[in-house]
Amino acid sequence: MSGSLVKVAEFPLTQEVEQQFIDGAWVKGERGEPIDVLNPSNNETIFQLFPASDAQVDEAVASCWRAFHDPSWKKMPALERGKLITKLAALMREHAETLARLEAINTGIPIRESRLESASSARHFEYFAGWAGKVEGSALPLMNDRLMYSTREPLGVVAIIVPWNTPLKLMSRGLAAALACGNTVVVKPSAVALASVLYFGKLVEEAGFPPGVINIVAGSGRSTGAKIVGHPDIRKIVFTGGTEGGLEVLGLAAQNVTPVLAELGGKGPIIVCEDADLDEAADGVMSQVFARQGEVCFAGTRLFLPPSIHDAFVEKIKERVAGINVGDAMDEDTDMGPLISPDHLADVVGYVESAVGDGASVACGGERATLEEGPDGNFMQPTVLTGVNQDMEAACEEIFGPVLTVHEYDSLDDAVRDANATDFGLASYVWTSDLRQAHRLAAELDCGNVFINTYRYGSEIPFGGTKKSGIGREHGEEALREYTQIKSVCIGLSRWHSWNRD
Ligand code: NDP
């Protein structure tokens, strides 16, 4: 059953009794048939997941509420809460290599990148630990004889639904903020990729969080996930995933009027201006589109070029693509690992074939990659399509793979119009040497994040989308608003008179 890359014994979490972390204890999932959790570098089973039953979801939510009201959490001074979060971050640093290896094996993220992801996951906790003692309300001017103030209170029980791409980091950003604000949390990782999240549960236990503050309930989205999302006692759902799943979650949550923070798909444009440093821009485009084999929501995947630099720039990209090493995620030399599943690989190849059928040209790649040596995983060649126009599926839909579509623009106004002409609005990228142009484009691009001559995401930078890319913002001080609610308090300072006076 074990893959050639993983000795299951190295990872005690893969034992069936250690997959659901409920009320501070590890238990076996009680819902029906187990699910095979695969290594996408060779499609072999790493371990079997025994999913959580509806009763176990109910117990996790109840345990969260008990913990929320328990003095050990509720009355814990905010600074102490911050220290506990810092302790968890320190454990994540200590176990960073194991977390990175689990993430690489289960998601296909190359190990060198996975180490960076494991560090940035710990960083989310380090960053939000500092906010724990700084969640403030305000005093509001009303009238002379009344004092009005507001406090920011935790919401209660928050559910965090995590996708399979970079699960540890995408869980960490929301969980760190939710804990800093004093909430208790049910985490539901994807049944496809959860090894790192389960191991993280061990660190929660070691850090000494009171039982029930963090519960991890694993199972597939449409069974265990839907039970969580439809639960009437959840006060907020934090969903990161595809737009299709997001719409289902929004519909279910609406039944209980549960608010949803939705971080959904993207289709990021990259506008390269004539005046850009073209070598720098080409290096930038490479990391914007091919990092983590393109399975990145904020990837820049649509490249807009003026005719004057089009051919030369595409050549620069092709030269760089030729240097990409596609291979096993655990190989230290790998730049691009496998896609998550054979079905997803087939979908990505399908987008390329459909674009070619509609008249696009393959500048490089375009097919499944077969390794000369090594396992038979879901490998895809890094692909560049030229001659792409706006109505091709490959230009409108999120491909979520290593495919760059190249578009020509006549004027920057046209570039902005076409860049904005999708259902998505997560991240946009601009390469230019003209300061005024940079600010103009930043203002005109319809999205949550704009990056000019760089590529950087971090705990401090508010992150989220417009249009079908989502609702709300993670990261930074903005996140505190997502994980708290305002309570207004009004106090009379002089004797109350009859009802019809001010
Ligand atoms: P999915 O939408 O398929 O799944 C996301 C999570 O939701 C998984 O845990 C899944 O469980 C669960 N889920 C799916 N349907 C439901 C449902 N009806 N009720 C409750 N839970 C459900 O996304 P993927 O995992 O395929 O992730 C890739 C997508 O995520 C891409 O579109 C990407 O752009 C987006 N994404 C967005 C980010 C952002 O910050 N905006 C960041 C990263 C990714 P399971 O997998 O177990 O079935």
**414-468 confidence digits (pLDDT tens):** 999 999 999 999 999 999 999 999 999 999 999 999 999 998 889 999 999 999 9
Task: Identify the CA nearest to 27 among candidates 16, 37, 35, 36.
Answer: 16
Structure tokens at 44: 């072999």
Give the span between the Cα atoms of 78 and 294, in whole angstroms: 39
Catalytic residue among 18, 263, 398, 482: 263
The band of 1, judged by pLDDT with boundaries at 50, 70 and 90, is very low
Give the span between the Cα atoms of 186 and 225, in whole angstroms: 11
- What's residue 299's pLDDT? 97
Average pLDDT over residues 387-403: 96
Question: Is residue 165 annotated as a catalytic residue, yes or no?
Answer: yes
| Residue 282 Cβ < 6 Å to ligand 1 | no
Residue nearest to atom 32 of ligand 1 (CA): 242
- Give the pairing of strands 383-386 and 138-143: unpaired
Within a 10 A sphere around the Cβ of 429, how many other Cβ atoms?
31
Residue indicated by tokens 């906010």: 131
Decide: residue 205, CB within 10 A, 0-12 exposed, 13-18 middle, 19+ buried. middle
Give the span between the Cα atoms of 41 and 338, in whole angstroms: 6
Point out the least confidently predicted range of 103-117, 139-153, 176-190, 470-484: 139-153
| Residue 64 Cβ < 6 Å to ligand 1 | no
- pLDDT reading at 56 higher than 70: yes
Structure tokens at 395: 């230009």
Sign (positive or negative) of CA dihedral 451, 457, 462, 463: positive
- What's residue 8's pLDDT? 43
Residue ranges of E strands in 155-307: 157-161, 184-188, 214-216, 236-240, 260-263, 268-272, 300-305
Average pLDDT over residues 481-485: 98
Task: Identify the CA nearest to 240 among candidates 218, 216, 266.
Answer: 266
Distance from residue 221's CA to the centre of ligand 1 (Å): 8
Q: Which of 164, 228, 239 to mutate to test the pocket of ligand 1 (most atoms within 8 A of CB)?
A: 164
- pLDDT reading at 7 higher than 90: no
DSSP alpha helix (H) spans, 95-186: 96-107, 111-129, 167-180
Question: Is residue 263 annotated as a catalytic residue, yes or no?
Answer: yes
- pLDDT reading at 10 higher than 60: no
- Give the pairing of strands 403-408 and 300-305: parallel
DSSP H or E run through 418? helix 412-419
- What's residue 456's pLDDT? 82
Distance from residue 246's CA to the centre of ligand 1 (Å): 7
Distance from residue 113's CA to the centre of ligand 1 (Å): 21
With beta carbons less than 8 A apart as the criterion, state whether 328 and 109 touch: no
The band of 141, judged by pLDDT with boundaries at 50, 70 and 90, is confident
Task: Identify the CA nearest to 193 among candidates 223, 214, 162.
Answer: 162
- What is the CB-side half-sphere exposure of residue 382 using CA atoms within 13 A? 26
pLDDT tens-digit map of 218-276: 999 999 999 999 999 999 999 999 999 999 999 999 999 999 999 999 999 999 999 99
With beta carbons less than 8 A apart as the criterion, state whether 193 and 218 touch: no
Q: Which residue has the higher pLDDT, 498 or 395?
A: 395
pLDDT tens-digit map of 90-100: 999 999 999 99
CA 147 distance to own-chain centroid = 42
Atom of ligand 1 nearest to the CA of 220: 47
Residue indicated by tokens 């791409």: 165
With beta carbons less than 8 A apart as the criterion, state whether 90 and 123 touch: no
- What's residue 15's pLDDT? 61
Q: Which residue has the higher pLDDT, 18 or 429?
A: 429
> Phi, psi (5° rounding) for residue 470?
140, -175
- pLDDT reading at 16 higher than 80: no
Q: Given 3-state DSSP classes, what are the helix, strand and coil percentages for the chain, each rounded to the nearest 5? A: 40, 20, 40
Catalytic residue among 297, 378, 398, 449: 297
The band of 6, judged by pLDDT with boundaries at 50, 70 and 90, is very low
Question: Is residue 447 annotated as a catalytic residue, yes or no?
Answer: no
Q: How much is the CA Rg of the chain, to the nearest whole Å?
A: 24
The pTM of the whole model exceeds 0.85: yes
- Give the pairing of strands 20-22 and 157-161: unpaired
Task: Identify the CA nearest to 243 among candidates 446, 478, 467.
Answer: 467
